[in-house]
Amino acid sequence: MKNIVILISGGGSNMAAIVRAAERDDWRRTHDARIAAVISNRPEAQGLAFARDELIATEVVDHKQFHSREAFDEELARRVDVHQPSLVALAGFMRILTPAFVARYSGRMLNIHPSLLPAFPGLHTHQRALDAGCKVAGCTVHQVTAELDYGPILEQAVVPVLEGDTAEALAARVLTQEHVIYPRAIARLLPSL
Ligand code: GRF
């Protein structure tokens, strides 16, 4: 059985999309894969309630309880490894990971970023796209490497930027496509894991 561990920090809508796809497309049977755990760095992450309702193991590794980024990442890796993951999916996980953590899961850790990488790495991607006068925007699923918001691209989706768009309106349009491409990217990667 291939175990997938999903890391979240907030609402977890991308995590929920992956969980729903795994159920809808019966990943247990089609890919011998399952969502083994949802782990958050924030105790108040709303996504934890969804995972619990889906009877998925949930854990919190509260980054505020650690004196350094390294100490947090070491504990996070320990808790992730309990589930023997074939794949780690960062889904709205708002932490910058240490090179040691990234190296530990090299080749089996994905992230979803709300821009068409390599354009607009980092934060506030939608406002930056609007400020730049972009006519299209989108999202990217990529392998996580030591360089932030970089790494081999697995899937992308494009959405139009509409007249009068606010960052919030554009974010909502992009988010709907995140929920399409993230499960699809994972399903396509599973056979090779
Ligand atoms: C999304 O915009 C995602 O692209 C970014 O975090 C935001 C919230 O994601 N990484 P989620 O709803 O918590 O999955």
pLDDT digits (tens, 9 = 90+) for 62-86: 999 999 999 999 999 999 999 999 9
Question: What are the residue ranges of helices labelled H in 105-146?
Answer: 125-131
CB distance 125 to ligand 1 below 6 Å = no
Q: What is the distance between the alpha carbons of residues 39 and 45, in angstroms, rounded to a whole number?
A: 10
CB distance 121 to ligand 1 below 6 Å = no
User: Could you tell me the pTM of the whole model?
Assistant: 0.97
Q: Assign 3-state DSSP to the chain and report helix, strand, coil percentages, each to 5.
A: 40, 25, 35
CB distance 138 to ligand 1 below 6 Å = no
Q: For the chain, give the number of residues.
A: 193
Whole-Å CA distances, 47 to 16, 65, 70, 189, 190: 8, 20, 25, 24, 23
Residue 114: cis peptide before it, omega within 30 degrees of 0: no
**Helix (H) or strand (E) segment spanning residue 174:** helix 167-189
Where do the domains of the chain lie, and which CATH numbers do they carry? 2-192 (3.40.50.170)
Q: What is the pLDDT confidence band of residue 113, given thresholds at 50, 70 and 90?
A: very high
CB 79 within 8 A of CB 59: yes
Nearest CA to ligand 1 atom 2: 114
**pLDDT of res. 112:** 98
CB distance 112 to ligand 1 below 6 Å = yes
- 175, 181, 182, 186: which to mutate for ligand 1, most atoms within 8 A of CB? 175
Residue 47 CA: nearest ligand 1 atom is 13
Residue 9 CA: nearest ligand 1 atom is 13
Average per-residue pLDDT for the chain? 97
Across residues 129-147, what is the average pLDDT? Answer: 97
- In this structure, the dihedral spanned by the alpha carbons of residues 56, 73, 66 and 69, taken in order and rounded to 10 degrees, is -140
**pLDDT of res. 148:** 87
| Distance from the alpha carbon of residue 125 to the mean position of ligand 1, in angstroms | 12
